[in-house]
Amino acid sequence: VHTASGPRCFCPNPRDCESGCASSPCQHGGSCHPQRQPPFYSCQCIPPFWGSLCELYTAPPSTPPATCLSQYCADKARDGVCD
């Protein structure tokens, strides 16, 4: 609606005027930030979560096997176990 002081939003349904963050859409501890365009929010995710709602998970890389530390030991199979 245009008024003497400039354009103003008019919401016939008050729920339409709520922030996009009102429903807490961000999952797994992600923080919600209101936006002016649809979907009217964006999520800032905490790793290892990602996605528009922080709904996706990326597992951290597995720890490689320990290397053979002894100079008198051979890791012939290259599996981290002294042979």
Query: Could you report the per-residue pLDDT of 41-64, keeping only the tens digit for each?
Result: 999 999 999 999 999 998 877 666
Whole-number Å distance between alpha carbons of 6 and 43: 31
pLDDT tier for residue 83 given thresholds of 50, 70 and 90: low
pTM of the model: 0.53
| 69, 55 contact by CB (below 8 A) | no
Structure confidence by residue, pLDDT tens digits, 5-30: 655 555 555 555 568 999 999 999 99
Query: Is residue 26 classed exposed, middle or buried when 0-12, 13-18 and 19+ CB atoms within 10 A define those classes?
Result: buried
**Which domains occur in the chain, in start order?**
20-83 (2.10.25.10)
Q: How high is the pLDDT of residue 32?
A: 97
For residue 22, how far is the Cα from the chain centroid? 18
Beta-bridge partners for 43: 32
